[in-house]
Amino acid sequence: MAKTMNVESFNLDHTKVEAPYIRLAGTTEGTNGDVIYKYDLRFKQPNKAHMEMPALHSLEHLMAELIRNHHDTVVDLSPMGCQTGFYLTVLNDESYNQILETVEKTLEDVLKAEEVPACNEVQCGWAASHSLEGAQELAREMLENKAQWNKVFAE
């Protein structure tokens, strides 16, 4: 039996998941009763495919900016280092269906975008590494497979 790790995703058997999916990865309750909900937005199958960095980077900028138009308690949207997805953290919102709807609306907005927000040397740490077209292709692929977002594990 593998040792239990401190990081939730390190305890997830990445050979048993089937991307794309959206899953609640964990919750953290604050001392004043607030709850942070962390979601795993998996775009690519772990260890089989990954997002190319310019497309991932642009999708991060687009989603981080646009998701806040649909959900008012977003804490953060961050890319996974393995380049297979993102983590979405929200405050005090336990509605999984609301998260699915929020992600869908955000990805639809990505498809309509005409530029990547904050894609310049003043607002971005690697402004040369962006691809609007690549981000839109990733969004399109994810939306085309939305029927399976709530299915995490292969049968």
pLDDT band at 13 (very low <50, low <70, confident <90, very high): confident
Whether 20 contacts 43, CB under 8 Å: yes
What are 32-68's pLDDT values in tens digits? 999 999 999 999 999 999 999 999 999 999 999 999 9
Which amino acid is present at 122?
A: V
pLDDT band at 102 (very low <50, low <70, confident <90, very high): very high
- Give the number of other Cβ atoms within 10 Å of residue 7's Cβ: 8
Whether 152 contacts 17, CB under 8 Å: yes
Q: For the domain made up of 16-148, give the CATH fold.
A: Gyrase A; domain 2 (3.30.1360)
Q: Considering Cα of 140, then 134, then 18, then 108, what sign does the dihedral take?
A: negative
Q: Structural domain boundaries of the chain?
A: 16-148
| Range list of H helices, the chain | 53-66, 96-112, 132-144
120 pLDDT above the threshold of 80: yes
Which amino acid is present at 96?
A: Y
Q: What is the dihedral of CA 151, 6, 87, 101, to 10 degrees?
A: 40
Whether 119 contacts 130, CB under 8 Å: yes
Average confidence score pLDDT of the chain: 95
